[in-house]
Chains A and B, each alone.
Chain A
């Protein structure tokens, strides 16, 4: 009887251990498969890596930029630091929608409270979710929180489901035959692709003539977007943060005068600064024959440094910002960022000299 009980206990133990091990191995395998199969956004299209990079940045950020490519490609965070001592971060992503900007602000406030939030208004033209690809680039990189959940819930297009965001493996499981070398190289870690959210391009392609804007029958900015702008304003007020609205100086996609008037009205109604930098291109010294890399859609490093210098002067003069060049522990971290910035610029210039074009960045670097 006693031997039987011992046998039973031994068998039970073996089975329990086997079960735990079996489950652990299965979970580990699925976890690894998920890490392997999800897009890495490390070459060519790197925009999907931007949102998560924020969590690795250890400096305090007194200025937070939110928005789409009109912030992450157009403003050099290093120039803001070098010229004014402003420690900033751009939480930008491709076609970032207004509600995504709001939830990214919520998310940021879990880690720090900036003094100034700068929001680029172009996304106000969108009142509905637009694209799963863009959603993924913004949302997958957010750490899990109620903000991420709500951002996904507000952003999903037809056919998307929350479970696919909770378990990305379900979305990308059949990507196995599209895997590239980069997928294997970056299964467990990723390279840095921005300098505090700034995406650098050092090539030059002069601004082209853009087609005439398409007339619209209704120029009213969507209420859903304006509601989230209002929520952003209220969240800033609750946290004693100054909200600043900007329109980047690039001309395409077209920013209608009627939209501009509505943002100006919001600015007036709520006493929020709004600066449309389209009107200030000459004053800030932008030369769109040399300061853009894609015919005027985005600024290159030369344009981004001019824009950063100009907006940095405004921020410094308007708000009580810390000169972090005078704070050694922060300055040291920025020095590391500057080393990375300079090395990235030099690498791009070397490639331009060698090939006449960039091959390791942008469209030419996209792996098939």
Chain B
């Protein structure tokens, strides 16, 4: 009886150890270790050849995409190739999160602002903000469009907030902010799961 008991206890201990140690390659890092300080810079030249294809972008997300100067920007897609493809003339800001848990990066172009987030050392598209009326969403909405235009383009089933309306699609949503019945800001945001 005692032998059995001892065997059971030891087997349980060993089983727990083995089970615990046999996990697949899960991430056990306590933090994403990317250091640095908040910084600003102006960057020139891009690499249009690096532009990911529409199909490549679609593989990353079933959400909204935005196209700027021929480059498709998909929420939650890896950022490096997209930033390279967007080309020259952006100003850059980065700030490490508390305890160096990732890095907020902001790329400001003439007509859009692209933000990225870091996960496991890789940058992904976090948000795209439209700055002026020279750019429009795939549905034809731009800054200055009316609230009626938005409802006609996106439908009535958006979620109304205190200053605008949001539409969710896949792992992203688009926010359209109104003032006096007209769109004053448009932002695509990744839903980070």
Given that A174-B28, A217-B176, A363-B100 are known contacts, is A295 also in contact with B23, CB under 8 Å in the complex?
A: no
Quick check: is A211 within 8 A (CB to CB) of the other chain?
yes
A158 to B28, CA, bound (A): 15
CB proximity of A195 to chain B, nearest CB, Å: 18
Residue interface mask B129-145, A partner, CB < 8 A = 1: 10000000000000000
Residues of B contacting A293 in the complex (Cβ-Cβ under 8 angstroms):
37
Total A-B contacts with CB atoms under 8 angstroms apart: 160
Which residues of B lie under 8 Å from residue A220 when comparing CB positions?
161-162
Please name all residues of chain B whose beta carbon is closer than 8 Å to the beta carbon of A48 when the two chains form the complex: 30, 99
Q: Indicate if A99 sits at the interface (CB-CB under 8 A).
A: no
* Chain B residue nearest to A92 in the complex (CB): B98
A26-B13, A217-B175, A363-B96 given as contacts; is B33 within 8 A of A45 (CB)?
A: yes
Q: Does B32 contact A (CB under 8 A)?
A: yes
A209 near B115 with CB under 8 A, answer: no
Q: How far is the CA of A218 from the CA of B9 in the complex (A)?
A: 56
Check B33–A173 contact: CB distance below 8 A: no
Q: Does B85 lie at the interface of the complex (its beta carbon under 8 Å from any beta carbon of A)?
A: no
**B127 interface contact, C-beta 8 A:** yes
Q: Is B40 an interface residue (CB 8 A)?
A: yes
Closest to B2 in A: A15
How many angstroms from the CA of A328 to the CA of B106 in the assembled complex?
52
Per DSSP, chain B at the interface is mixed
* B29 located at the interface, meaning its Cβ lies under 8 Å from any Cβ of chain A in the complex: yes
Knowing A158-B193, A217-B163, say if A131 contacts B100 (CB, 8 Å): no
- Beyond A12-B2, A15-B6, A214-B127, whether A366 also contacts B100 by CB under 8 A is yes
**At the interface, yes or no: B153 with Cβ under 8 Å from chain A?**
no
CB distance from A46 to the nearest CB of B (A): 8
> For residue B7, which residue of chain A has the nearest CB?
A19
The reply to whether B115 and A214 contact each other, CB–CB distance below 8 Å, is: yes
CA distance A95 to B100 in the complex (A): 11
Taking beta carbons and an 8 Å cutoff, which residues of A are in contact with B?
Answer: 12, 15-16, 18-19, 22-23, 26-27, 30, 39, 41, 44-45, 47-48, 68-69, 94-95, 131, 133-134, 136-137, 158, 169-175, 178, 205, 208-212, 214-220, 252, 258, 293-297, 362-364, 366, 368
